[in-house]
Amino acid sequence: MTFTVTYAQRGEIGAGLRLAGELDLSTAGELNAAIDRLVADGRRELLLDLTELTFCDSTGIAAFVRGDNLVAADGGWLRLTGAGGRVARVLQVTGLAEVLAHRRDAADPTASASS
């Protein structure tokens, strides 16, 4: 399955990314590049929607941590939402499910996502 990253703006400093497909060694660079572009554009609050992500290996986990460290260095945050199946299990085992959890009561910034 092809990996895709879809973007949606979220306020002045926020952004939402919807990930779909498999996040692994061959695709993590795409996520890192998308996060780097957002940070360069001044985005400091990143919400990653994992609803359509079907697989995530340690390289994907490293991309989440890297992104969080990057925005946290400037007072921001990266949060994950929508993980299911194997992806949710990997997040639970690594502890990222708690550390990068998104509160369910917040609005979904990816609802009007465009490529």
72 falls within a domain: yes
Q: How many domains does the chain have?
A: 1
Are 7 and 113 within 8 A, CB to CB? yes
55 falls within a domain: yes
Kindly give, in sequence order, each residue whose CB lies less than 8 Å from that of residue 68, ignoring residues fewer than 6 positions away: 77, 78, 99, 100
Residue that is written with structure tokens 């949060």 in the block: 79
Are 35 and 46 within 8 A, CB to CB? yes
Assess whether pLDDT exceeds 70 at residue 99: yes
Q: Considering the entire predicted model, what is its pTM?
A: 0.85
114 falls within a domain: no
Assess whether pLDDT exceeds 80 at residue 107: no
113 falls within a domain: no
109 falls within a domain: no
Domain harbouring 52, CATH code: 3.30.750.24
93 falls within a domain: yes
Structural domain boundaries enclosing 71 = 4-99
Give the confidence band of 14 by pLDDT, cuts at 50, 70, 90: confident
Q: What are the tokens at 72?
A: 């946290």
pLDDT for 37-92, tens place per residue?
999 999 999 999 999 999 999 999 999 999 999 999 999 999 999 999 999 999 99
